[in-house]
């Protein structure tokens, strides 16, 4: 019978999980699920000096957000997760809690002649390294040097016994064999060979904190946890021969897992791996979730807080260095599980492309139902001071022609149905839910500043609260470069021509079908069918005395405060005739008759 597939993601809680780490976790997860096996999270906190509080919870929460759920491991509260699918008790999953396990294995290696005790102090070794560097050489603790260093290979048995008992800063080192070619197979890279003479005697266990180093802990835990495949970052490839040798030394060669080393995620431009700096500089997150450094209080933005959907983030990451073998690009997690294959994983590092990440989000946004998006949008609306009410059967709807479709601009109250209709209209042009507000704020608030009219150049709509975590609106550039040109504040005269006051007056009268008065700015209600409005507008703008191009822009500016936006008829069908009159009146009143 085939062994049950068991893979693990083994992060070190020294900071927030980088998106490259999420990708590694994802590939592990996809592999495990495809084989119907287990995905395990093991916390590798054997470096007591670099521990960062909150990092572990962050990592778990981030994976959780992505839908990468462990079958075994710890949850965000640090509790052990062990699902029904787990056949064996492998807890605990935090290496600091497994401390008692490791020493015996390290001693076992010493007894078998695969390792030895080393008593050289860290300072002494640092000095050696510095010396070697000065002589343009590299100091290595290996077969060439260990005979001249303080260890159980050079000291007398008595001395060793004495030092082991009286001192606490010794280590156990692996005794790297001399002149052996280690032959390895990597699931992604194929056959790799390394001569052990180029390798050094790595520390396996430290007496000082009674903890193993990565190499020992890793092999022991992978063995004990019955890991079948190790899928990890490329930075581990150079230590693979050591790991092979450790399996051999322990006599676990026949159950040794298979290895797959993933290439790194690279920065979008230039050379080098993706770092936090690149994100800050180019305006994209490198972390799945927002992270606040507990010591420096420095905040790093996250994909979640930037408005990315976890499905989009996961899909984007999956496609960075892997392809399904066909031209599909959009995958649900289930589809990824089906399609995933390690031999389609790219060997070379993949440069991250922030534009593609946005594209994925846009695609996922479009796949969401209007109801889902509305639910996500409402909290943002509330953040802008809007109130959204659920029941359409109240005073708001009295007199509304659309059942349950209403908005009270004066009091900033809108029905859910109204919001849904807005979402339905703007979702095609948005990348993030937060874009809805940028695109259609004027369907919720009356513009009071008008760029084109010079009331306050550049102000447009009331600005939203500044959010340093959000990228600058790319449309702002477009707006500045092209649209503003004919509408500069100083061009008011060009824009607001002699007949425009009359035009506003007539149009408003026409639209509202009532007297044009600025006195009635009370509660607004949607009052015309869109088709009627369209016909009305159409009919009106074709009048010869008002050339369409110019007056439409004036009209748009009056209604939205900006020179771009939704169709006039769409806008009217939302804001209704009273709000229409109010906005036209506001502008006409301010600029007056020429």
Partner RNA sequence: GCUCGGUUCGUAUAACGGUUAGUACUCAAGAUUCUCAAUCUUGCAAUAGGAGUUCGAUUCUCCUACCGAGUACCA
Q: Read off the DSSP letter of residue 306.
A: T
Cα 235 to Cα 214, 243, 378: the distances in Å are 13, 13, 44
Q: Which is nearer to RNA, 324 or 392 (CB)?
A: 324
Given a contact cutoff of 8 angstroms between Cβ atoms, the answer to whether 192 and 184 are in contact is: yes
Q: Which is nearer to RNA, 254 or 428 (CB)?
A: 428
Identify residues 213-232 at the interface with RNA (CB under 7 A). Answer: 213-214
Stretch that binds RNA, among 153-161, 184-192, 463-471, 497-505 (CB under 7 A): 184-192
CA separation for the pair 141, 151 (Å, rounded): 11
Given a contact cutoff of 8 angstroms between Cβ atoms, the answer to whether 582 and 521 are in contact is: yes
# residues near RNA by CB under 7 A: 89
Minimum distance, C-beta of residue 349 to RNA, in the bound complex (Å): 6
Given a contact cutoff of 8 angstroms between Cβ atoms, the answer to whether 24 and 261 are in contact is: no
CA separation for the pair 361, 313 (Å, rounded): 7
Minimum distance, C-beta of residue 568 to RNA, in the bound complex (Å): 4
Minimum distance, C-beta of residue 515 to RNA, in the bound complex (Å): 25
Name the burial class of residue 211, with classes exposed (0-12), middle (13-18) and buried (19+) by CB atoms within 10 angstroms of its CB: buried
| Site track for RNA across 235-254, x = CB under 7 A | xxxxx---------------
The verdict on whether omega for the bond into residue 92 sits within 30 degrees of 0, i.e. cis, is yes
Sheet bearing 229-233, strands edge to edge: 80-82, 72-74, 38-41, 6-9, 229-233, 258-262, 181-186, 190-195
Q: Which is nearer to RNA, 159 or 355 (CB)?
A: 355
Minimum distance, C-beta of residue 202 to RNA, in the bound complex (Å): 7
**Residues for the chain: how many in total?**
594
CA separation for the pair 251, 244 (Å, rounded): 11
Any residues with CB less than 8 A from the CB of 194 and at least 6 apart, and which? 181, 182, 184, 240, 241
Given a contact cutoff of 8 angstroms between Cβ atoms, the answer to whether 7 and 215 are in contact is: no
CA separation for the pair 133, 137 (Å, rounded): 5
Minimum distance, C-beta of residue 418 to RNA, in the bound complex (Å): 19
Identify residues 513-572 at the interface with RNA (CB under 7 A). Answer: 541, 548-549, 552-553, 556, 563-570
Minimum distance, C-beta of residue 398 to RNA, in the bound complex (Å): 29
Tell which one of 429, 464, 530, 543 touches RNA (CB under 7 A). Answer: 429
Q: Which is nearer to RNA, 169 or 298 (CB)?
A: 169
Identify residues 59-88 at the interface with RNA (CB under 7 A). Answer: none
Identify residues 367-406 at the interface with RNA (CB under 7 A). Answer: none
Minimum distance, C-beta of residue 538 to RNA, in the bound complex (Å): 7
Stretch that binds RNA, among 76-84, 187-195, 413-421, 444-452 (CB under 7 A): 187-195
Stretch that binds RNA, among 101-109, 345-353, 371-379, 510-518 (CB under 7 A): 345-353
Minimum distance, C-beta of residue 393 to RNA, in the bound complex (Å): 31
Tell which one of 55, 60, 106, 194 touches RNA (CB under 7 A). Answer: 194
Minimum distance, C-beta of residue 325 to RNA, in the bound complex (Å): 6
Stretch that binds RNA, among 46-54, 67-75, 284-292, 440-448 (CB under 7 A): 46-54
Minimum distance, C-beta of residue 104 to RNA, in the bound complex (Å): 18
Tell which one of 5, 7, 9, 12 touches RNA (CB under 7 A). Answer: 12
Nearest to residue 20, comparing CAs of 307, 190, 232, 308? 232
Q: Which is nearer to RNA, 379 or 486 (CB)?
A: 486
Tell which one of 83, 162, 195, 411 touches RNA (CB under 7 A). Answer: 195
Identify residues 260-299 at the interface with RNA (CB under 7 A). Answer: 263-264, 266, 268, 271-273
For residue 358 the two structure tokens come to 């946005």
Stretch that binds RNA, among 75-83, 169-177, 306-314, 578-586 (CB under 7 A): 169-177
Cα 347 to Cα 229, 236, 338, 342: the distances in Å are 18, 14, 21, 10
Cα 463 to Cα 52, 384, 436, 442, 519: the distances in Å are 38, 10, 14, 12, 27
Cα 113 to Cα 106, 108, 207, 301, 364: the distances in Å are 11, 9, 19, 50, 58
What would the DSSP string read from start to end of 399-436?
T-SSTT--EETTTTEEEHHHHHHHHHHHGGG-SSTTHH
Identify residues 298-327 at the interface with RNA (CB under 7 A). Answer: 319-323, 325, 327
**Degrees (nearest 5) of the Cα angle 225, 229, 232?**
105
Identify residues 106-145 at the interface with RNA (CB under 7 A). Answer: 120-122, 125, 129, 138-141
Identify residues 434-493 at the interface with RNA (CB under 7 A). Answer: 475, 478, 483
Q: Which is nearer to RNA, 138 or 463 (CB)?
A: 138
Q: What is the dihedral of CA 75, 78, 79, 82, to 10 degrees?
A: 50
Tell which one of 28, 152, 171, 523 touches RNA (CB under 7 A). Answer: 171
Minimum distance, C-beta of residue 119 to RNA, in the bound complex (Å): 7
Q: Which is nearer to RNA, 136 or 254 (CB)?
A: 136
The answer to whether 348 contacts RNA (rule: CB under 7 A) is yes
**Degrees (nearest 5) of the Cα angle 435, 430, 411?**
40
Minimum distance, C-beta of residue 589 to RNA, in the bound complex (Å): 22
- Output phi, psi for 113, to 5 deg: 85, 10
Q: Which is nearer to RNA, 151 or 523 (CB)?
A: 151
Stretch that binds RNA, among 155-163, 195-203, 282-290, 406-414 (CB under 7 A): 195-203
Q: Which is nearer to RNA, 339 or 396 (CB)?
A: 339
């Amino acid at each position: 019978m085939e062994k049950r597939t068991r893979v693990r993601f083994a992060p070190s809680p020294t900071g927030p999980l980088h998106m490259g780490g999420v990708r590694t976790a994802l590939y592990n997860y996809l592999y495990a699920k495809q084989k119907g096996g287990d995905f395990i999270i093991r916390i590798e906190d054997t470096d007591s000096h670099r521990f960062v509080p909150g990092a572990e919870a962050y990592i778990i929460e981030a994976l959780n957000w992505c839908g990468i759920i462990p079958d075994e491991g710890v949850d965000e509260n640090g509790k052990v997760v062990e699902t029904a699918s787990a056949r064996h008790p492998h807890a605990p999953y935090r290496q600091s809690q497994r401390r008692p396990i490791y020493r015996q294995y390290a001693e076992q290696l010493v007894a078998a002649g695969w390792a030895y005790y080393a008593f050289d102090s860290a300072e002494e070794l640092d000095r050696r390294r510095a010396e070697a560097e000065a002589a343009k050489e590299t100091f290595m603790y290996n077969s060439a040097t260990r005979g001249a260093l303080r260890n159980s290979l050079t000291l007398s048995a008595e001395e060793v016994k004495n030092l082991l008992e009286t001192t606490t800063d010794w280590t156990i080192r692996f005794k790297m064999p001399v002149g052996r070619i280690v032959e390895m197979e990597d699931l992604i890279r194929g056959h790799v060979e390394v001569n052990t003479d180029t390798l050094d005697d790595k520390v396996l266990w430290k007496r000082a904190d009674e903890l193993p180093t990565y190499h020992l802990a890793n092999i022991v835990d992978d063995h004990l946890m019955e890991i079948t495949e190790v899928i990890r970052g490329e930075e581990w490839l150079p230590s693979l021969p050591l790991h092979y040798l450790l399996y051999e030394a322990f006599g676990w060669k026949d159950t040794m897992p298979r290895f797959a080393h993933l290439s790194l995620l690279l920065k979008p431009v230039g050379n080098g791996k993706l770092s936090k700096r690149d994100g800050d500089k180019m305006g994209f997150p490198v972390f799945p979730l927002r992270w606040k450094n507990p010591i420096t209080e420095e905040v790093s933005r996250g994909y979640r807080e930037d408005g990315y959907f976890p499905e989009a983030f996961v899909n984007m990451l999956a496609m960075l260095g892997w392809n399904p073998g066909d031209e599909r690009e959009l995958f649900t997690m289930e589809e990824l599980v089906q399609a995933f294959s390690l031999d389609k994983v790219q060997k070379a590092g993949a440069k991250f492309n922030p534009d593609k990440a946005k594209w994925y989000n846009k695609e996922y946004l479009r796949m969401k139902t209007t109801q889902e998006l509305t639910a996500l949008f409402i909290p943002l609306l509330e953040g802008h001071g809007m109130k959204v009410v659920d029941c359409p059967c109240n005073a708001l709807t009295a007199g509304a022609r659309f059942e349950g479709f209403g908005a009270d601009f004066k009091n900033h109250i809108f029905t859910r149905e109204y919001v849904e209709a807005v979402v339905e209209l703007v979702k095609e042009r948005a990348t993030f839910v937060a874009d809805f507000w940028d695109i259609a704020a004027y369907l919720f608030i009356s513009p009071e500043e008008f760029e084109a009219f010079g009331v306050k150049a550049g102000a447009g709509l009331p600005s939203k609260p500044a959010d340093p975590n959000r990228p600058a609106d790319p449309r702002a550039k477009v707006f500045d470069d092209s649209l503003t040109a004919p509408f500069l504040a100083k061009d008011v005269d060009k824009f607001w021509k002699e007949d425009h006051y009359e035009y506003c007056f007539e149009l408003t009268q026409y639209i509202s079908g009532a007297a044009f008065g600025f006195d009635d700015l009370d509660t607004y209600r949607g009052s015309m069918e869109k088709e009627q409005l369209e016909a009305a507008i159409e009919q009106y703008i074709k009048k010869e005395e008002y050339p369409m191009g110019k007056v439409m822009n004036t009209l748009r500016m009056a209604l939205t405060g900006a020179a771009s936006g939704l169709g006039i008829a769409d806008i009217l069908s939302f804001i209704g005739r009273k709000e229409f009159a109010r906005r036209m009146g506001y502008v006409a009143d301010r600029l007056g008759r020429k």
